[in-house]
Amino acid sequence: MAAVGSADRWEIKMGEKDYPQALLELAHPPEVVYGRGDPSALAGPCLSVVGSRRATPYGLTIAEMAARVAAGHGITVVSGGAMGCDHAASAAALRSGGRTVIVSGCGADAVYPQSSRDIYDGAVAAGGAVISEQRWGTGPRRWAFPRRNAMIAALSEVLVVTEAGPRSGTLSTAEAAAELGRVVYAIPGSIFSPNSAGTNRLIADGARVIPDEQTLSVALSLDYGAAVLAPDPSRRDAGPVMGALLASPARPDELATRLGEGVLTVLRTLTDFEARGLVERLPDGRYAVTRAYLLGEAGARP
């Protein structure tokens, strides 16, 4: 391994002792891994967490949950550093006192997108790393991201797919993981939600179903040999409006039709829930449950 430029930059060439062995399983391993932070973070154990960039509150919460559980097992969380589920996973790992490795589609000295600067800086500061196969100073290039996705898949024993549409880079990462013989976990979602169409299809094709936090913790215990168990989250009677929104974000008129209620009645309920931090209005006019509710930090009246 050679240090380059500033003290926190390094390069590892294929054949050197610090080169990540997992990457050698790729059909075309990177000749050089460029990085910042602690290169030992690449040795694992690692868990890759991927999902939609335009994630729903449900998808973001699942990514946070997966990263939090992984950190509790002493497992390094690998992500692509993008907005949405990637950012949620790396940020949750850092908040939980764990490490994260970000595999960038740009040079390892670049931050893309800029909204992810907190997790890029946090990864390096907390003993993780930011890595890339792109040369220093390289900006985002469309062709580089499929290669980045394959590296994300290769670095970890297990890939967790949190939320994905029917056609996405997330699914290409899952395909790469399957080709490499990695275990793929998929979190089920509503069959009516386009954001869950990809994950539900992965389950239909044989991915391991993760229906709750306790199952994830047990699965990690078995696959990584760690014996930390998360508590079983309590189940609450969410009420008809929250129950419908848990299935899929919806507009007030859609909820009214679905529940057989008047639109004004549903709007009053949504206004009350929004004021209490239980639901939020999305840019397209639909309402969705908040992460605070999904994490059990708030409760709705039935």
pLDDT tens string 153-196: 999 999 999 999 888 789 999 999 999 999 999 999 988 888 89
Asked if residue 110 is part of any domain, the answer here is yes
Q: What is the mean pLDDT of residues 43-60?
A: 92
Q: What is the mean pLDDT of residues 228-249?
A: 64
The number of distinct structural domains making up the chain is 2
Task: With beta carbons less than 8 A apart as the criterion, state whether 224 and 75 touch.
Answer: yes
Asked if residue 302 is part of any domain, the answer here is no
pLDDT at 5: 47
Question: Do 215 and 261 lie in a common domain?
Answer: no
Report which of residues 158 and 288 the model is more confident about: 158
Task: With beta carbons less than 8 A apart as the criterion, state whether 249 and 282 touch.
Answer: yes
pLDDT at 232: 42
Question: Do 200 and 159 lie in a common domain?
Answer: yes
Contact partners, residue 35, CB within 8 Å, separation at least 6? 9, 10, 11, 12, 42, 108, 129, 130, 131, 132
Please give the structure tokens belonging to residue 287: 């309402």
Q: What is the mean pLDDT of residues 263-286?
A: 91
Question: Do 34 and 120 lie in a common domain?
Answer: yes
Going 104 to 105 to 111 to 113, the CA torsion angle's sign is: negative
Residue 199 has pLDDT above 90, yes or no: yes
- Spatial CA neighbour of 49 closest among 73, 67, 37: 67
Question: Do 211 and 248 lie in a common domain?
Answer: no
pLDDT at 260: 87
What is the secondary structure of 9-52 as a DSSP string?
EEEEETTSTTS-GGGGGSSS--SEEEEEE-GGGGGS-EEEEE--
Domain that holds residue 288: 239-294
Predicted TM-score (pTM) of this structure: 0.78
Instruction: Give the bridge partners for 49, in sequence order.
Output: 160
Question: Do 11 and 84 lie in a common domain?
Answer: yes
pLDDT at 248: 76
Asked if residue 301 is part of any domain, the answer here is no
- Report the relative pairing of strands 100-103 and 76-79 from DSSP bridges: parallel
Three-class secondary structure of residue 289 per DSSP: strand
CA distances from 33 to 15, 20, 206, 233 (A): 11, 9, 32, 40
pLDDT digits (tens, 9 = 90+) for 70-127: 999 999 999 999 999 999 999 999 999 999 999 999 999 999 999 999 999 999 999 9
How is residue 249 annotated by DSSP? -
Asked if residue 51 is part of any domain, the answer here is yes
- The last residue of one of the domains, among 224, 256, 273, is 224
Asked if residue 213 is part of any domain, the answer here is yes
Question: Do 51 and 151 lie in a common domain?
Answer: yes
